[in-house]
Amino acid sequence: MIVIPGPASQILGVKVARLLNSEVAAVSFKDFPDGETYVRIDADLKGRDVLLIQSTYNPQDKNLIQLFLLIDAVKQMNPEKLRVVVPYLAYARQDKQFKKGEPLSIKVIEEIIEKLGVDELYTIDIHEPKVLNHLKIKAKDLSAMPLFGDYFKKKKMSNPLVIAPDDGAIHRAETVAKILDSEYVSLDKFRDKDTGEIKMDYKELNVKKRDAVIVDDIISTGGTMIKAIQMIKNQGGGSVYVAATHTILIGEAKSKILSAGAAEIIGTDTIPSETSLVSVAPLIAEQFKGL
Ligand code: R5P
C-alpha cells in the first residue's frame, strides 16, 4: 500500500503510513495567481494499492477541490485500488432539504467522489452515517469515540458521568462510557433553524461532585457545549471535559467554552489544531493493516 497525504492531512497521512509501514507519495500543491488550485503526485501508482487521506475542513471548498483533483491524478495512473479517507467530510450536515429550494449538498459531494472512480470511502464520525447510503461504492464511517475512551481512562476522574448533548450523540456517549465503566446520559438540545440559537431543556442529572465528560461529533460555535457545561455546573458537577472528533471552534468558541467552566477541550487531528490531543492515525491504520 502507498499512502498519499493530501495537503490538508499531511501530518496525519504520514503518521498513518508509519503505522502501516507503507511508502508515502509526495504531493506538491500551490495556488495559481488567479486562485485556482494545482496538485501533483510525485509517484508511479500504476497497479498500486493507494490510500489517499485528505480532510475537508475550512477552507472546505479549497480542500474539496484538492481532494477531487488528487483522486483524478491517482486514477490517471491506473492504480489497482483507490481507497480514500476523508476524516472530516464537509457539507455532511446539509444532509436534508431543511427549506424548499436548498440542495442536498452532501449527496452532491458524494456523487462527485463516486464518479471520479474511488473504490472505497472512509469518514470519521460523520454527522449522520446514513448519508453514506447514497453511495454505491463501499463506504464506512469510523468512530474516534474508543480513542476518547482510552484518553479519559488515563485521567484520574471522580466517578465520571458521560454526557451526550443531544439524543443523536447518545451512541457516542455509550461507547466512551463502556470503556470508562461509567454511566451515560443524553441532554435535550434544540437548535432554532432560522437563528441557529441553541436551547436546552432542564434535565435532572446525577452529577453532583462527579466529573463529567461531554462527547459530540463536532464543536462548531461552541453553543451546544456551553449549554451542556452550564447545565452540569448548575447542578454541582465537578470537572467538565469536552471532547469532539471535529473541533472546528469558530471565532471565540474555545475561550467561551473554557470560560463556561470546561477543564479541557479535546479534539482529534481530523482538523489539525492545538486541540488535536488525540490522533485518529491508529484508527485509520487499523482498517488497512495487512493489505
Ligand atoms: C449537531 O447535532 C452536532 O452533533 C453538534 O452538536 C453541533 O454541530 C455543534 O455545533 P455548535 O458547536 O455550533 O453548537
pLDDT in tens, 57-68: 999 999 999 999
Q: What is the CB neighbour count within 10 angstroms for residue 255? A: 11
Whether 193 has a pLDDT exceeding 80, the answer reads no
Query: Does this chain's domain 2-143+279-287 share its CATH topology with 145-269?
Result: yes
Could you tell me the distance, in angstroms and rounded to a whole number, from the CA of residue 126 to the centre of ligand 1? Answer: 12
Helix, strand, coil percentages, rounded to 5, for the chain: 35, 30, 40
Residue 242's Cα: distance from chain center in Å? 15
Cell of 39: 496538485
Atom 2 (ligand 1) nearest CA: 168
Across residues 121-125, what is the average pLDDT? 98
At 192 the pLDDT is 83
Closest residue to atom 7 of ligand 1, CA basis: 218
Q: Which three cell numbers stand for residue 34?
A: 488567479
- Residues 154-179: pLDDT tens digits? 998 889 999 999 999 999 999 999 99
**What is the pLDDT confidence band of residue 51, given thresholds at 50, 70 and 90?**
very high
| Atom number of ligand 1 nearest to Cα 219 | 12
Using 50, 70 and 90 to split pLDDT, how confident is the model at 29?
very high
Å from CA of 249 to ligand 1 middle:
10
**pLDDT at residue 129, rounded to an integer:** 95
The mean pLDDT of 27-41, rounded to a whole number, is: 98
CB atoms within 10 A of CB 123: 23
Q: Per the structure block, which three cell numbers stand in for 171?
A: 451512541
Percent of the chain with pLDDT over 90: 93
**Given a cut of 90, is residue 290 above it in pLDDT?**
no
Q: How far apart are CA 39 and CA 72, in angstroms?
A: 10
Q: Which CATH class is domain 145-269?
A: alpha beta
Which residues does a 6 A CB cutoff place in the pocket of ligand 1? 165-166, 168-169, 198, 216-224
- Between CA 193 and CA 119, with CA 143 as vertex, the angle to 5 degrees is 95
Alpha-carbon distance 193 to 89, whole Å?
22
Region of 36 on the Ramachandran plot (φ > 0 left; ψ -120 to 50 alpha; else beta): beta
Q: What is the mean pLDDT of residues 116-128?
A: 97
Q: What is the mean pLDDT of residues 203-209?
A: 94
Domain boundaries, the chain: 2-143+279-287, 145-269
Ligand 1 centre from 220 Cα, in Å? 6
pLDDT at 291 over 90: no
pLDDT (mean) for 245-268 = 98
Counting ligand 1 atoms within 8 A of each CB, the residue from 94, 96, 224 with the most, and so the one to mutate, is: 224
- Say what the pLDDT of residue 156 is: 85
φ/ψ (deg, to 5) at 256: -65, -40
By annotation, the residues acting in catalysis are 189
Res 194 pLDDT > 90 = no
**DSSP secondary structure code for residue 208 in this structure:** B
CA atoms within 13 A on the CB side of 2: 20
Computed over every residue of the chain, the mean pLDDT equals 96
Least confident span in 33-42, 158-167, 195-204, 215-224: 195-204
Q: pLDDT over 70 for what percent of the chain? A: 100
Q: Ligand 1 centre and the CA of 155: distance in Å?
A: 25
Question: In CATH, which of 3.30.450.20, 3.30.379.10, 3.40.50.2020, 3.40.190.10 is domain 2-143+279-287?
Answer: 3.40.50.2020
DSSP 108-129: HHHHHHHHTT-SEEEEES-S-G
CA nearest ligand 1 atom 8, residue: 218
First to last CA, the chain: 7
Q: Is it the case that residue 53 has pLDDT exceeding 80?
A: yes
Q: Which helix (H) or strand (E) holds 15?
A: helix 10-20
Substitution site in 217, 218, 242 for ligand 1 pocket (most atoms within 8 Å of beta carbon): 218
